[in-house]
Structure 1
Amino acid sequence: MALTMALSGAPPLLAHDVWIEPSSYLPAPGQLVGVRLRVGQDLVGDPIPRIPALVNQFVVEDAGGRRPVVGRPDADPAGLLRVARPGLHIVGYFSHPSRIELPADKFNAYLVAEGLDAVTAQRARRNETGASARELYSRCAKSLLLVGPPGQAQGDRALGFPLELVAERNPYTLGAGQDFPVRLSYQGQPLAGALVVAMNSLNPDAKQAVRTDAKGRVRLRLRPGGMWLVKAVHMVAAPAGADAEWESFWASLTFETPAGNAALD
């Protein structure tokens, strides 16, 4: 069931990004990590407290398997996680859909900003460019935490979210000048032609924007230092009976590239 805009803590119009920002991307074994949810733009965000009615999945997966990320209702951080095993920990948050209605000018500008050209073209063919739009939207956020030294065998993997970004290389092992390959999938299948945007907390205005190839892949060049946010949006026709014309899914992936990491020097 779709939730209202007010309940979801929806951001201002055109400031829709949601990402996971843990208290540490490089926690020590046994450390308690606060898993914060943030909403905003250009990596300037407001906290999203834990709203149980919004949570579809809130999980972490490591070498030992998958388990829930616990937390108290209405709390910020939205989740708490104690890391035990060394290696890469994949934290994921998938929300139930929320509903919003936007006037034509705001909706059209948002489609342009997120590279949703197919939806813009479809609205034009239907003579709907001047019409307002009702939309369902869901969040598919992930974050990569590293415990202990990095290794090539430690990799990201799909959590099964409808729209999902998967790092095809452990970002904590990247050397200087090496590309960072990322795959985008929708309902488990490669999503071609989607706009993927990457930004760094040290200079969020210097964005990289690349469209996925036929296999849903992009290659990014990451600078060392700071937190990275990689994001993508996909929109489809809303299901029958949804009281909306469109349904969107917002994927994000965060991690850190420490300036002092020898693999990046």
Structure 2
Amino acid sequence: MRKRVVASALALVVAVSTLYAHELFIKFDTYFLEPDSEVRVLILNGTFALSENSVTVDRVVDMALLGPDGVSPLEPEAWNATTDTTYVTLHTGSPGTYVLGISTASRLIELDAESFNEYLEHDGIPDILEARRATGKLGEDAVERYSKHVKAVYQVGGTRTSGWSRALGYAAEIVPLENPYRLGAGQEFAVRCLVRGEPVANQLVVVGGELDGNAIEERESRTDDEGVVRFTVDRAGKWYIKFIHMAESEEEGVDYESNWATLTFEVR
């Protein structure tokens, strides 16, 4: 275990183990919106069903809309974090298929060995868990630097447009390979998983969702050599795709770096 940094670096460490499993999702009441309307979009920090903590705007390093006419930034005034559930206020424009993207600044978390191993097992990071087992590190505490990068694809009006497949340049990102608003229940959907702009092979990806307030059971798959994963959208509902990419860190005092990515959309 490398020597821990002190003073200012330790001020950044979040040492509460109950926080490690919080995922970040963008969730609309409906992803099918009317043109020229105001919409409140939930930013869930917890699970797809419940937000346990807000995300303050100072943690956001990028917030952008990708539409038929390109990328445009969202102003901080659109962000509201006064309750456990953060929300963003959007004004829809002309008909088309849009992407909302949000990327957060990195933070540090320090966990004891048992808590870190449980986190790896629970949150779908088996490769690092196996590497720790193989190298005799299961008994070592860990400092992790993490950040989260989330996107949602939504449809305004009835006109399907291009542009939704453009990457936003986040450290981890899920890019659709087809417009989800051309999908129907029972069809296959493909996405590409990127880490620092490059396709990531053999990445564990989890797919789940919600229909009428009931959870759609999660399923797991691995990306191919091109970073692509495919799954069948077997029913209507609000869907999410997620992955956590973790690697050993070369930063002094930090053992691992993780980047979390989610993508949400809806199928009717």
Alpha carbons 2:189, 2:233 under 8 Å: kept: yes
Alpha-carbon distance in 2 for matches of 1:147, 1:205:
25
Indicate conservation of the 8 Å contact 1:50/1:72, yes or no: no
With over 3 angstroms needed to count, the CA separation of the structure-2 counterparts of 1:77 and 1:134, relative to structure 1, is closer
Corresponding position of 1:53:
58
1:220 to 218, 226, 231: 231
Report the Cα offset of residue 239 of structure 1: 4.0
Q: Which amino acid in the other structure matches residue 72 of structure 2? A: R
Equivalent-residue separation in structure 1 for 2:65 and 2:72 (angstroms): 6
Following superposition, the deviation at residue 185 of structure 1 comes to 0.8
The answer to whether the 8 Å contact 1:226/1:257 transfers is yes
Which amino acid is 1:121 matched to? E
Task: Normalising by structure 1, report the TM-score.
Answer: 0.86
Contact 1:19–1:39 (CA under 8 A) maintained in structure 2: yes
Tell me the secondary structure at the aligned position of residue 50 of structure 2.
Answer: strand
Q: Which amino acid aligns with 1:74?
A: A
Query: Paired residue for 1:257?
Result: 267
Specify which of 1, 9, 18 is matched with residue 12 of structure 1.
18
Aligned to 1:261: none
Report the counterpart of residue 24 of structure 1 in structure 2: 30
Is 1:88–1:156's contact at 8 Å kept on the other side of the alignment?
no
Over 3 Å counting, the alpha-carbon distance change for 1:179 and 1:86 in structure 2 is same
2:221 to 188, 210, 216: 210
Aligned-partner residue type, residue 143 of structure 1: A
Determine the structure 2 residue equivalent to 1:168.
177
Equivalent runs, 1:126-141 vs 2, <5 Å: 126-141=135-150
Contact 1:87/1:154, CA 8 A, preserved across alignment: no
Structure 1 pair 183–40 and aligned structure 2 pair: CA distance change class (3 A): same
Farther off after superposition, 123-132 or 194-203: 123-132
Residues 11, 23 of structure 1: CA spacing in aligned structure 2 closer, same or farther, 3 A cutoff? Answer: farther
- Kindly report the root-mean-square deviation, in angstroms, between the aligned alpha carbons of the 2 structures: 2.4
Aligned AA (1:231): K
Q: TM-score of the superposition, structure 2-length normalised?
A: 0.85
Identity %: 32
Corresponding position of 2:5: none
Unpaired segments of 5 or more residues in structure 2? 1-8
Is 2:90 the counterpart of 1:84?
A: no
String of CA shifts for 1:69-122, please: whole Å, max 9, x gaps. Answer: 232563454322111121111001100011111222221122223442332233
For 1:124, the equivalent position in structure 2 comes to: 133
Question: For this pair of structures, how many residues does the alignment match?
Answer: 253
Distance in 2 of aligned mates of 1:159 and 1:52: 19
Report the alpha carbon displacement of residue 207 of structure 1 after superposing the two structures with TM.
1.2
SS of the aligned residue for 1:142 comes to strand
